[in-house]
Amino acid sequence: MYYDPFVLPFTIGLTALLLFLAVKYIRWIRTFRKSERRKIRKGMFSLKTFRAAGEVFSECLLHRKIYRTNPFLGYMHTCFGLGWFLLIVAGKTESMVYHTSAFNPPYFAIFFRFFHPAKETFPYSETFAFITDLLLLFILSGLFLALAKRFWSRIVGMRKTTKHRPLDLLILTSLWLIFPLRFLAESFTSGLRGGGSFLTNNAGEFFAEFLPLDHLTYPAWWAYSGMLGLFFVLLPFSRYMHIPTEIVYIFLKNWGIRQGTKFNAFSKIQMYACSRCGICIDSCQLNSSLQMDVQPVYFLKKIRHGKEYESLIENCLMCGRCEASCPVGLTHNALRLSKRPDLSRITKNTYSYAKNAAMPAPAKVAYFAGCMGQLTPTVTRSMERILEQAGVSCTYIDKEGGVCCGRPMLLAGNREEAAVMAEKNRAILKASGAEVLVTSCPICLKMFREEYGLQIRIVHHTEYIDELMREGKLKTVPGEQRTVFHNPCELGRGCGVYKAPENILKHVSRKIDTDFDGKKSLCCGGSLANTSIDGRQRNRIAGDAAKAYAAYQPDVLVTACPLCKKTFATASAVPVKDIAEVVAECCRP
Amino acid sequence: MPTLWGYSISAARSIDYDKNDQSFLRRLAHSCPSSKLCIGCGGCTAACSAGNLTEFNIRQLQMLVKRGETRETAEQLHKCMLCGKCLLVCPRGVDTRKMILSMKRFLREHDQ
């Protein structure tokens, strides 16, 4: 039996950690609704589990998504994630080959160099020594980058990083010391009695020249084990809880669990899965334009540590830029929304005035401009022109005023009142007998798609125009205007509509590609989701965004949302148009 | 009531700051300072989606709050759909949605 008292800190720490995690996760999952637990049971024995395992490999070990932010930052995380994982795998395999048994205590593999007399060889012993040395070097190179990042975060492409608590700094230090201590312990052992490979062997010979290794080796192993133990014990109380929780989150997500309307156990799992990397800070325009510390990293941190977070609940544009950049893939909008209280007061009179809305004439295609659409008559007129040119018979269901789709109400937290509005609109839509619903407002689009449960096709006008152009029903002449496209948050990140506006603009204008195409589009600042910032602050965001687009020197800044158009109108030096207006100008009979 | 200058004051439109219950008004001013910027132009009411279908008037809401008529405010308030058109047309930059939400919150606490 291989044993030495120095393995105790590591063993106790690891056991305590595993027990703690098991209890915590089981307790959380037990509070899940029955339907959700059924989903887990069903998902567990399906292909979804393999997909989740693949995602765990690429996100928790490789950290693929971080490479999109910055290659150095990605490499740093790969070093720690994949490096440490492979080191454990290689060490375990080595110990099993040596011991010819799978059942050796976990510490045996971790402290293999201590227990294994270096002179005694076994199959591939030199290869194993080489591999573990290589992996250790790999991790140490990542550690070097991490140190550099502490002092100069721009080196890894981050303008601003998270402010940490003292406990987090302590555990960070313990994590950083683990690998140098392992390096020292293995080098000292090698210097004393041989073994190791290119890294630890040479370092050992070097240290042996001027250090009393026979006095230092044993303490070094104690320090290494102690540091591992300390890290394991502190892990649940620090941000490193994200390491095990992210794995749980990925599996649950793949099995079909979603963030619901309430802040529940799954929300807690998301909260603990946040690694506080701070990538959301740079992506958030409330930071870049208004220097506000309201990003998901701070929001979740404050909830977790019982700090005042109420003021942050409302202070979010829900533009989804943080979600798009989050390496863990947390659903930040849904999380924030789950904390907004439902102040609905439902009576039989709630929105009963909806009956005063004019009933639409029946048609196959229904057009819904939305409240904001009503404020931009140029957009609705352009749409009418386009539909007429394409010969589409369409009923304009809210021409004489309609009921709001309910999304602004829902974003304020009042789901029940939003549901009543949805009910009223469903009745109006049903009366029209439409099979396709076209809307000009992406806010309405998202609401219709996600909350209405309609059995008809729901498309944004960009998608519909694109379709009409492809089918040859709508003929256009190529335009000469240089355009930049601002993809509205609710359209792109919200509903996944990226290609249609791109196709249209390439046909009717000279579209300039920007850094803000696709998922990286900016928020205009007009978002109704934020009730915390005032008009001037909105204008600042809009102005900064407009300036960023103007840098590409377009003739027109094109958007596809009446609210974005309105918001940019006062903030942009470049003329702002809706995509429907641009198309209408290029229509030919 | 006749006055010295031959004008009269409509009781329904007067705001008696000495007698009215101002707790609501003060709270609103605290949670939504921009609500004090209102000049009563009525742009919000003209644009209002709810106001298009029924009698609903944000300008009147302001008046009711100033007059301390909490119950009447509550009855009117629930007609708002929070669509945000008023926010875009307000020439004074009043955060109308925030104002309405603050009122809702206050009334909720008031009821409890």
How far off is chain A from B6, nearest CA to CA, in Å?
41
B10: confidence class by pLDDT, cuts 50, 70, 90: confident
Q: Is the pLDDT score of A14 beyond 80?
A: yes
On whether any CB of chain B is under 8 Å from the CB of A497, the answer is no
On whether any CB of chain B is under 8 Å from the CB of A566, the answer is yes
pTM of the predicted structure, to 2 decimals: 0.93
- Residue among B54, B83, B95 whose CB faces A534 most closely: B95
Write out the two tokens for A241: 């809880």
DSSP-assigned states of every residue in A561-588: -HHHHHHHHHH-SS-EEEHHHHHHHTB-
The larger pLDDT score, comparing residue A168 to residue A88, is at A88
To test the contact with chain A by mutation, choose from B35, B36, B37, B49 the residue with the greatest count of A C-beta atoms within 10 A, namely: B49
Rg (CA), chain B: 15
CB pairs below 8 Å between A and B: how many? 83
Query: Which contiguous run of DSSP H or E holds residue A556?
Result: strand A556-559
pLDDT at position A476: 94
Contact B53 A401 (CB under 8 A): yes
Q: Does domain A352-467 have CATH number 3.40.50.300?
A: no
On whether any CB of chain B is under 8 Å from the CB of A427, the answer is no
Average the pLDDT over A553-576 and give the result: 96
* Closest CA in chain A for residue B84: A528
pLDDT at position B2: 55
CATH number for domain A476-585, candidates 3.40.50, 1.10.3470, 3.30.160, 3.30.70: 3.40.50
Contact B88 A563 (CB under 8 A): yes
* Closest CA in chain A for residue B91: A535
Q: Which residues contact A325 (CB under 8 A, 6 or more apart)?
A: A68, A69, A279, A280, A282, A283
Contact B108 A343 (CB under 8 A): yes
Q: How far apart are CA A407 and CA A24, in angstroms?
A: 35
- Residue among B52, B87, B98 whose CB faces A401 most closely: B52
- Domain boundaries in chain B? 23-28+40-111
A194: confidence class by pLDDT, cuts 50, 70, 90: confident
* Closest CA in chain B for residue A373: B85
pLDDT at position A314: 95
Judging by beta carbons within 10 Å of its beta carbon (0-12, 13-18, 19+), is residue A212 exposed, middle or buried? Answer: exposed
Average the pLDDT over A467-479 and give the result: 95
Q: Is the pLDDT score of A189 beyond 60?
A: yes
Q: Is the pLDDT score of A16 beyond 80?
A: yes
pLDDT at position A160: 75
Contact A372 B108 (CB under 8 A): no
Enumerate the residues of chain A whose CB falls inside 8 A of the CB of residue B54: 353, 356
Task: Identify the three-state secondary structure at position A549.
Answer: helix
- Identical fold for domains A352-467 and A476-585, yes or no, is yes
To test the contact with chain B by mutation, choose from A343, A352, A371, A540 the residue with the greatest count of B C-beta atoms within 10 A, namely: A371
Q: What is the ipTM of this complex?
A: 0.91
Write out the two tokens for A451: 């909350």
pLDDT at position B3: 60
On whether any CB of chain B is under 8 Å from the CB of A528, the answer is yes
Enumerate the residues of chain B whose CB falls inside 8 A of the CB of residue A349: 78
- Domain boundaries in chain A? 63-237, 244-338, 352-467, 476-585
The A457-460 sheet, strands edge to edge: A394-396, A365-368, A436-439, A457-460
* Closest CA in chain B for residue A566: B88
Query: Which contiguous run of DSSP H or E holds residue A533?
Result: none
Contact A345 B78 (CB under 8 A): yes
How far off is chain B from A225, nearest CA to CA, in Å?
54
A100: confidence class by pLDDT, cuts 50, 70, 90: confident
Contact B83 A345 (CB under 8 A): no
